[in-house]
Amino acid sequence: MTSRLQDKWILITGASSGFGAAAAQAFAATGARLLLGARRVERLAEVAGAARRAGAASVHFHFLDVSKTSSVEAFAAWARTTIQAEAEPKHLHVLVNNAGGALGLDPVARGLDADWETMLQTNVLGVLRMTRALLPLLPQHAGASILNIGSYAGHTAYEGGSAYCAAKAGELQVTRVLRLELNGTGIRVSSIDPGLALTEFSLVRFKGDAARAEAVYAGTEPLTADDIAEIMVWVAGRPPHVNIDELLVKPTDQAATHKVYRRT
Ligand SMILES: NC(=O)c1ccc[n+]([C@@H]2O[C@H](COP(=O)([O-])OP(=O)(O)OC[C@H]3O[C@@H](n4cnc5c(N)ncnc54)[C@H](OP(=O)(O)O)[C@@H]3O)[C@@H](O)[C@H]2O)c1
């Protein structure tokens, strides 16, 4: 059976690692066409090569910093030109707003402005900017999707998580607002909200401290990037009249932020 995503254009932000890189492979396997963005272009080139081998109909990548309006606008212009240069369909089918992450785990009393500003810039304003810039490329009829990658952190609170929990709660509210604003257009809007997952997330959060990052996953079985990528493809591949509004997915070992089963 031909996939609903065959030959469709899928744009993924934060495609250089983790969920975004895995999503590139998973969408590639459906025969979709890919537009990939992130700051580490050399990593995007590797992801793009793997996506071509995995069966993507077409793969393109470009530098993107979602924390800067000028970069988002340049990326959107590139995306438009790239889509126009190929055969039908000449519009975007899925926008995956995945770029983001956490910086630090400091209590508010010792929090750093730079960390807070980066988290809110990427996870909230990045989603707003990307959506504003790419909406003109999404068709105003049934089947198109915006998939925002939120977090369990947007549903709950944990010590040291102030700006990240606030940012992901903000992402969830942006998703809900968009669903209201786009009602009647046929464009679906979803938030996929993972719990503990093994990617470069903790390495970035702890600013390159590998031992501290590894300790987050010690003795437990976290979600993988492929788990989340598979869910993205499933959500985007539902029939046009079906919208998966919000999908909270945690590893079986994670009952709550503070209740993670560890075998060691
Ligand atoms: N792993 C988890 O436990 C977990 C759980 C819930 C939600 N999440 C969310 O899932 C999303 C993906 O994270 P991940 O776990 O896959 O971590 P990751 O491996 O660190 O990937 C993060 C991606 O975001 C990109 N990115 C970060 N800042 C960016 C910016 N300013 N402009 C463009 N791209 C940017 C990175 O690319 P460059 O550095 O190359 O730009 C990278 O491709 C994030 O929104 C994160 O908050 C993760």
The percentage of the chain sitting over the pLDDT mark of 90, rounded to a whole number, equals 96
Atom of ligand 1 nearest to the CA of 152: 6
**Residue 264 banded pLDDT, cuts 50, 70, 90:** confident
Cβ of residue 12 lying under 6 Å from some atom of ligand 1: no
Residue 136's pLDDT is what? 97
Which amino acid residue places its CA nearest to atom 17 of ligand 1? Answer: 201
Alpha-carbon gap, residue 18 to 7, rounded angstroms: 24
Q: What is the mean pLDDT of residues 16-40?
A: 98
Q: In what order do the strands lie in the sheet with 92-97?
A: 58-63, 33-38, 9-13, 92-97, 145-149, 188-194, 246-249
Residue 141's pLDDT is what? 78
Q: Give me ligand 1 centre to Cα 196, in Å.
A: 13
Query: Picking from 125-129, 140-144, 212-216, 249-253, which range would have the lowest pLDDT averaged per residue?
Result: 140-144
Cβ of residue 16 lying under 6 Å from some atom of ligand 1: yes
Cα 182–chain centre separation: 20
Cβ of residue 249 lying under 6 Å from some atom of ligand 1: no
Q: What is the mean pLDDT of residues 214-240?
A: 98
Structure tokens at 255: 């009952």
Cβ of residue 104 lying under 6 Å from some atom of ligand 1: no
| Model confidence at 126: pLDDT above 80 | yes
Alpha-carbon gap, residue 254 to 264, rounded angstroms: 15
Q: Output the DSSP codes for 109-162.
A: GG--HHHHHHHHIIIIIHHHHHHHHHGGGS-SSTT-EEEEE--GGGTS--TT-H
Of 17, 214, 221, the residue with max ligand 1 atoms within 8 A of its CB, to mutate for a pocket test, comes to 17
Residue pair 217/202 in contact (Cβ under 8 Å)? The answer is yes
Cβ of residue 254 lying under 6 Å from some atom of ligand 1: no
Structure tokens at 152: 């369990």
Residue 238's pLDDT is what? 97
Residue 140's pLDDT is what? 81
Residue 34's pLDDT is what? 98
pLDDT tens string 46-68: 999 999 999 999 999 999 999 99
Cβ of residue 199 lying under 6 Å from some atom of ligand 1: yes
* Every domain of the chain and the residues it spans: 9-195+223-259
pLDDT tens string 82-114: 999 999 999 999 999 999 999 999 999 999 999
CA-wise closest residue to 200 among 63, 62, 102: 102
Alpha-carbon gap, residue 204 to 115, rounded angstroms: 11
Residue 2's pLDDT is what? 66
DSSP state, residue 4: T
Alpha-carbon gap, residue 68 to 18, rounded angstroms: 22
pLDDT mean across residues, the chain: 97
Q: Give me ligand 1 centre to Cα 87, in Å.
A: 31
Is 200 exposed, middle or buried, given 0-12, 13-18 or 19+ CB atoms closer than 10 A? middle
Residue 142's pLDDT is what? 81
Q: Give me ligand 1 centre to Cα 123, in Å.
A: 9
pLDDT tens string 136-146: 999 987 899 99
Q: Cis peptide before 89, with omega less than 30 degrees from 0? A: yes
The DSSP element (H or E) to which 30 belongs, if any, is none
Q: Give me ligand 1 centre to Cα 101, in Å.
A: 5
Which amino acid residue places its CA nearest to atom 25 of ligand 1? Answer: 14
Alpha-carbon gap, residue 126 to 148, rounded angstroms: 11
DSSP state, residue 88: S
| Model confidence at 1: pLDDT above 80 | no
Q: Give me ligand 1 centre to Cα 253, in Å.
A: 22
CATH (one of 2.102.10.10, 2.60.40.1220, 3.40.50.720, 3.40.50.300) for 9-195+223-259:
3.40.50.720
164 is known as an active-site residue: yes
Atom of ligand 1 nearest to the CA of 118: 31
Cβ of residue 40 lying under 6 Å from some atom of ligand 1: yes
**Residue 75 banded pLDDT, cuts 50, 70, 90:** very high
